Structure formats: structure tokens, C-alpha cells
Structure 1
């Protein structure tokens, strides 16, 4: 039998940021992943402290941004790469009213560090009412982040490349196949619905599509453009544009109406020819109150769930991985806002 302090099940942001907490604190673990692309791995990687429809911020935004930057530096120390892309969001204003609202909101204490008062005019795209820059926004190099961490796991024999088999788990004996464990962290996204221990948690699938396009006229590579959706250059000559939100069309294939929505959205502000090269989609695990679901099983205290990261998977995954780790290791209670007990 192999003894490990932790088993992680899942390969999205929740699983990888929790693995970072274990590496940082010298805990032994293995991570179970089949190596298929999760919703996290096809995500845009946007790091954004502002809700760009209403120009508002959200709970613990500054703390989460600061903690993410520190964590990515720590991850760089063992992968050798910095995955943070300094490409701030430039929000295209629809009209003068949006400009005025932005300026009004930028005077609020909680937004003054995020909403730049100086407007810009971008070349190439239509932005008659200019753009507002979101300070402290950035992007994660999504492909690099997942490739770098899984390369580290593989080199250090931490990656078990197989589907987790719930029928082989024996919580009372703290055993799974040939592993004896201290704790299991289930970070499965919408896969949690197949998990007999946590299938009842309140995550709601939200399907998101994005397209990868060939632009006939390139856009600046040091920014992320946002109108209805996000547009930015990728490292393969294509540009990412997306993503949509859909709680109704939950089939596991491409929804052509979502593709049409994206093509029309891009055409609104990109006045040149472009070609759709690829279409991707994934299912975000969202929660009614827009906060993660974290906690342990009521009967088996060694089984934990870390889920419901929603559209802010990077910030939520990074920040609350530490909360879960401290809860298990130091008996520091989870904040009520994210504890699964809030639904009891």
C-alpha cells in the first residue's frame, strides 16, 4: 500500500491550486486525472476584478487578485515559468451613458483601484465612445499553466492517469485501491454529479462556447478587448473570442446558435474579415449565490468537496484552496459564505 496525505480528484483550477497548497506545505499527494480537457482548460483565463456589465466589483476582489499574484510567483519557483500575462482589459463603451457611469463608479472607494479614469482609443476595432481600462486585470496563460503543472506532477510521480472509481473507495478504512490516504479532495466540476458522496451539492451547469478565429488585421497583443465578450491573441496565430453563458442548451455538442451569437458579437466591433478556425465549449459549475461550495461529507470527515467556482475559476480556485487547506490542517472554520453548510 502507498501512504499519501491527500488524494485530489479533478484537474481544473480547484484541483491544481489545491495541489499548489500541498506542494507549498510539503504534503504528500497524488492527483487523479484522465488527461482530458476540463472546462478550466478551455477557459479564457481572464483575471478581472470588475463585473463589466454594471461596473461593480465583488466580494474579496482585491484580496483575491493579490493572493493570485503571490501564488503564481510561488508556482514559478518550481515550474520555472510565470503564467501571468500583463494584458489589461479594455472595455469598449456602447455609448456616452456608459462612459459617465464608469467615471461615476470610479470615484467609489471599492472601485477606484480598478477603473482607470483615462479613456483610450484603440486602433483596428470600432470604439467610437473609446474604452475604459480595468487596472489590475490580466490573463493567465491557460495552456502553459496546465501543461507546466502536469509536467511537474508527472516528473514527481504525483499524477495517476485514470478515472477515479468510486466503488473502490473505502472511507472508513481511508483506503482507495492500493492507496491509504488522510483526506480526499473532490474537485470535479460538473463531474461531481456522478460522485455518490457529493452528487447532491447545488452546482448548476452553465455551458460556455468560444471561437478561435483568424483575423485579417491583427489587434494589439498587449491588451484584452471586451465588448459583449473577450477578444485577445493566442500564441498559435489565432485569436480567442468568447465566451457565452447558457443554462438551457446543455447537450454535449456545439450549439450553432452560440456560434452565431459570437460571430455577430465580434462583427459588431471588428470591421475586417475573419475566419472561424475552431469552436470549443465547456460546462462551468455555477452556484445560485455565485460563491464556491466547500466542505466535508457529513458522515466521512476525510472526504471533502471543492466546487462551484463558476466564471471566476482562477481567482476563486486560488484563494479558497488556501481556506480549505487551513480548515483541514489547522481547524480554521470555513467562511460561512463558501461553506456547503450554508445550504443546510
Structure 2
């Protein structure tokens, strides 16, 4: 029988950032990954403290940005790479009203460090009303982040490449197959709906598509362009453009209407020819109050859930991984706004 401090079930941002907490605190663990690409693994990797539709920010934005940068430096000590891509977002303004709103909001105390007051004009793309730069925005190198983490897990005997079988979990003896554990953490995204212990948590699937395109005229490498969606360079000469949001069409194949929406959106500001080379989609686990769901099972006190990261998986996953670790190990209470307990009265 193998003994570990933790079993982690899942392989997205929640799982990996929590694994980082375990690595830096010298805890033993194994992580179960089915090997399918999670929503996290096909995500854009945008790190953004501003809601770019209304030019507002969100709860703990500065703390989350700061903590992410600190954590990525810690991760670099064992993977050998820093995955932060300094490519700030340039939001294309639709009209003068948006320019004026941006300027007005940039004086707000919660936005003064995020909204740059000096507008910029970009070459190549259409931006008649210029762009606003989001200070402290960046991207995560998603491909290498996951690839290097899984290599590290494999090299250190943390990774088990198989689907977790709930029927083999013995909660009275704290065993799973031939593994004895102290705690088990489920970070399954929308897969949680098949989990008999947490299937009733209030996550709502939000389907997102993105396309990889070949542009006939390249755009600058050191920025991320945003109008309706995000555009930035990725691998093999391709560019990422996406992603969409859809709570209705939840089948597990590509929606042609979503692809059309993306092609139309890109055509609005990119005036040259481009070819769609690849289409991907994933299901973001979202929550009505836009807060993650973190907590302990009501009966099985060493079973935990970390879910509902939504479209801010990187920031939420990184920041709240520490909150969850402190809750489990040191009994430091979770913030009421993210705790699973906030749903107790409604369930």
C-alpha cells in the first residue's frame, strides 16, 4: 500500500496550482489525469485584471495578479521556466464614447493601476479610435505550462494517467485501490457532475470555442489585441483568436455558428486574408455569483472540492489554491465568498 498526503483528481489550473502548494510544502501526492485536454489546457491563458466590456475590475484583482507573479517565480525553481508572457492587452475602442468611458474610469481608485490613459494606435489592424492598454495584463504560456508540469509529475512519480474510479474509493478506510491517503481533492471542472460526492455543486457549463488562424500579414508579437475576442501569436506561425461564450449549445462537438462568429469578429478589425487552421472548444465551469467553489464535503471530512473557476482560471486557480491549502492544513477559514458553505441554505 502506497501512502500519500493527497490524491488530486483533475488536471486543469485548479489541480496544478494546488499541486504547486503541495510541492513547496513538501507534501506527498499523486494526481489522476485522464489525458483528455481540459478547458484549462485549451484556454487562451489571458491574465487580465479588467472586465473589458464595461471597463470594471473584480474582487481581489490586484492581490491575484501579485500572487500569480510570485507563484510563477516559485514554479520556475523546479520546472526551469517562467511562463509569464509580457504581452499587454490593447483593447480596440468601438467609438468615442468608449474612449471617454475608459478615461473616466481610469481615474477610479480600483482601476487607476490598470487603465493606461495614453491611447495607442496599432499598425496592421483597424483601430480608427485607437486602443487602450491594460497595465499589468499578460498571458500565460499555456502549452509549456501544462507540458512541463506533467513532465515534472511523471519524473517524480506524481502522475497516474487514468480515469478516477469513484467506486474504488473507500472513504471509511481512506484508501483508493492500493493508495492510502490523508486527503483527496477533486478539481474536475464540469466532470464534477459525474462525481457522487460533489455532483450537486452549483457549477454551470459555459462552452467556449477558439480558432487558430494563419494570418497573411503578421501582427506585433509583444501585445494581445482585444475587440470582441482576443488575438495573439501562438506556435508554428499560427494565431489564437477567441473565445466565445455559450450556455445553450452544450453538445460535445464544434458549433459552426461559433466558428462563424469568430471569423466575422476577426474580419471586423483584421483587414487582410487569413485561414482557419484549427478549431477547439472546452466547457468552463462557471458559477452564478462569479466566485469559485471551494470546500470540504459535509460528511466525509477529508474530501475536498476546488471548482467553478470560470473564465479566470489562472488567477482564481493560483490565488485560491493557497487559501484551500491553509484551510486543510492549518484550519484557517475560507473566505465566505468562495466557500462551498455559502450554498448550504439553498440546497
TM-score normalised by length of structure 2: 0.99
Secondary structure in structure 2 of the residue aligned to 1:173: coil
Q: Which residue of 2 aligns with 1:213?
A: 213
TM-score by length of 1: 1.00
Structure 1 residue matching 2:281: 3-state secondary structure: strand
> How far apart are the structure 1 equivalents of 2:34 and 2:287?
25
* Aligned twin of 1:9: 9
Q: Which aligned pairs between 1:278-297 and structure 2 lie closer than 5 A? A: 278-297=278-297
> Counterparts of 1:38 and 1:294 in 2: how far apart (Å)?
19
CA RMSD for the aligned pairs? Answer: 0.4
SS at match of 1:250: coil
> Could you tell me how far apart the structure 1 residues matched to 2:69 and 2:235 are?
22
Q: What SS class does the counterpart of residue 102 from structure 1 fall into? A: helix
Aligned residue for 2:299, secondary structure, equals coil
Distance in 2, matches of 1:338 and 1:6, equals: 22
Distance 1:144 1:82 in 2: 10
Unaligned runs of 5+ residues in structure 2 are none
Map of 1:272 onto structure 2: 272
SS of match in other structure, 1:15: helix
User: 1:235 Cα shift?
Assistant: 2.3
1:107 matched to which residue of 2? 107
Q: How far does residue 164 in structure 1 lie from its aligned partner after superposition?
A: 0.3
Residues in 1 aligned to 2:144 and 2:84: alpha-carbon distance in whole angstroms:
10
| Stretches (4+) displaced over 6 A | none
Query: For 1:36 and 1:343, how far apart are their aligned partners in 2?
Result: 30
User: Aligned partners of 2:62, 2:28: CA distance in 1, in Å?
Assistant: 31
Shift of 1:171: 1.0
CA distance in structure 1 between the partners assigned to 2:258 and 2:239 by the alignment: 17
Query: Where does residue 230 of structure 1 map in the other structure?
Result: 230
| 2: CA distance, partners of 1:155 / 1:334 | 33
The alignment of Structure 1 onto Structure 2 pairs a total of residues equal to: 344
Aligned to 1:145: 145
SS in 1 for 2:128: coil
- 2:329 is the counterpart of 1:329: yes
- Residue in structure 1 matched with residue 87 of structure 2 by the alignment: 87
Secondary structure at the residue paired with 1:232? strand
In 2, Cα distance between the equivalents of 1:56 and 1:38?
28
C-alpha distance in structure 2 between counterparts of 1:134 and 1:264, whole Å: 24
